[in-house]
Amino acid sequence: MKIAVLGGAGFIGSAFVRELNKRGIRPIVIDLLTYAGRVENLKDTDHEFVKADIRDQKLHDILREHKVEVVINFAAESHVDRSIYKPQDFVTTNVLGTINVLEAARRFNFNYVHISTDEVYGEECGDESSPLNPSSPYSASKASADLFVKAYVRTYDVKAIIVRPSNNFGPRQFPEKFVPKAIIRTLLGLHVPIYGDGKQERDWIFVEDTARIIADLLDRAEWRGEIYNITGKQRFTNLELVKLLSEVMGKEVRIKFVADRPGHDRRYCMNTSLSYQVTPLKDGLRKTYEWYLENEWWWRPLINDKFFKEDEPWKS
């Protein structure tokens, strides 16, 4: 099976490449290598790499030349904070980029896996049939992309599915995200900024579980626009997560409450029609901490002056 992984040099995408390798599959990785996509994430994997932009028409040529049968699209702008300050980037990549991939699927008739997010449901605990109610520019862009996928399935008979994972964490996650930020700042002896009262609730899933579940879907999907929620079934507030991290790291994670971000959802949760096992949160956090502890070479180059400010999270 010829598989192309868009955004395969990113956090979840590179974990998916590793999962494919376990199954004896050597994928084509297509990535623009923006700030969060790094060739370092693909270290020790077996793949063919092509640098390209999912918004560019040249993507069609690449997919055609490689005679791709399945495309999994992890390529996206995904950080809510950045979407508040630069929403245009999220529209061009997440919406227009998706349409470009859908146009390729329409032309070349490959099976398309669109990776979405639990945030499209807003604060409601949604199942696969729940209405979309996004709150941030990020989740609005992802919800828009989901609707285009559904439209292309119905209008053009494109073969596609939509996958909506909950909050992922694990090795190789860019340090702007909560778990790696908390780990790295604690290793550096810094406070960890916590939005508002810290009681925002998220459903956490270890990235290797997400990759495995998506790979399993390739064999069971009917490719008629089905939606699959991938939930970790482990709902914790940010404060509870920090407490677990402290236990795992064997040291205090010092926190500092900062002003809440605009439009911050209090919770994300989903129900799912799928059946699977997941890594217990504490075990996943331990694996994640140990990876960052042993791989300073990976994260040290990403640390800049902004990261050392204790009174605000990254905003750019």
53, 119, 176, 265: the active-site residue: 119
Alpha helices in 188-279 (DSSP H): 207-220, 238-249
Q: Are residues 145 and 181 in the same domain?
A: no
Give the count of beta carbons closer than 10 Å to the beta carbon of residue 131: 10
Q: pTM of the predicted model, to two decimals?
A: 0.95
For residue 73, the surrounding DSSP H or E stretch is strand 70-73
31, 53, 77, 118: the active-site residue: 118
DSSP 86-146: -HHHHIIIIIIHHHHHHHHHHHH--EEEEE--GGGGTTSEE-TTSPP---SHHHHHHHHHH
Q: Are residues 148 and 183 in the same domain?
A: no
Catalytic site residue 121?
Answer: no
Catalytic site residue 118?
Answer: yes
Q: Are residues 154 and 23 in the same domain?
A: yes
Number of H helices, E strands in the chain: 11, 14
Distance of alpha carbon 117 from the chain centroid: 8
Report the number of distinct structural domains present in the chain: 2
* 313 in a structural domain: no
Could you give the count of Cα atoms lying within 13 Å of 175 in the half-sphere of its Cβ? 24
Question: Do the beta carbons of residue 97 and residue 138 sit within 8 Å?
Answer: no
User: At residue 138, what are phi and psi to the nearest 5 degrees?
Assistant: -60, -55
Q: Are residues 214 and 197 in the same domain?
A: no
Q: Are residues 143 and 21 in the same domain?
A: yes
Q: Are residues 129 and 260 in the same domain?
A: no
- Which of 88, 164, 157 has its CA nearest to residue 125? 164
Q: Are residues 161 and 182 in the same domain?
A: no
* 94 in a structural domain: yes
CATH number (domain holding residue 244): 3.90.25.10
CATH number (domain holding residue 225): 3.40.50.720
Q: Are residues 101 and 197 in the same domain?
A: no
Q: Are residues 65 and 158 in the same domain?
A: yes
Question: Do the beta carbons of residue 207 and residue 278 sit within 8 Å?
Answer: no
Residue-level pLDDT, tens digit, the chain, 316 residues: 899 999 999 999 999 999 999 999 999 999 999 988 999 999 999 999 999 999 999 999 999 999 999 999 999 987 777 778 888 888 899 999 999 999 999 999 999 999 999 999 999 898 999 999 999 899 999 999 999 999 999 999 999 999 999 999 999 999 989 999 999 999 999 999 999 999 999 999 999 999 999 999 999 999 999 999 999 999 999 999 999 999 999 999 999 999 888 878 899 999 999 999 999 999 999 999 999 999 999 999 998 777 766 555 545 4
Q: How far apart are CA 146 and CA 8, in angstroms?
A: 20
Question: Do the beta carbons of residue 49 and residue 77 sit within 8 Å?
Answer: no
112, 121, 138, 228: the active-site residue: 138
Q: Are residues 69 and 102 in the same domain?
A: yes
Q: How far apart are CA 103 and CA 116, in angstroms?
A: 18
Q: Are residues 33 and 100 in the same domain?
A: yes
Catalytic site residue 46?
Answer: no
Q: How far apart are CA 247 and CA 243, in angstroms?
A: 6
Q: How far apart are CA 15 and CA 291, in angstroms?
A: 14
Domain containing 138: what range?
Answer: 3-168+205-230
- Which of 198, 205, 204, 314 has its CA nearest to residue 264? 198
* 314 in a structural domain: no
Give CB contacts under 8 A, 24+ apart, made by 295-301: 295/171, 298/40, 298/172, 299/175, 299/180, 299/184
* 142 in a structural domain: yes
Tokens of 180: 């790696």
**Residue 310's pLDDT is what?**
53
Question: Do the beta carbons of residue 161 and residue 217 sit within 8 Å?
Answer: yes
Evaluated on CA atoms 247, 244, 76, 87, the torsion sign reads negative
Q: Are residues 118 and 158 in the same domain?
A: yes
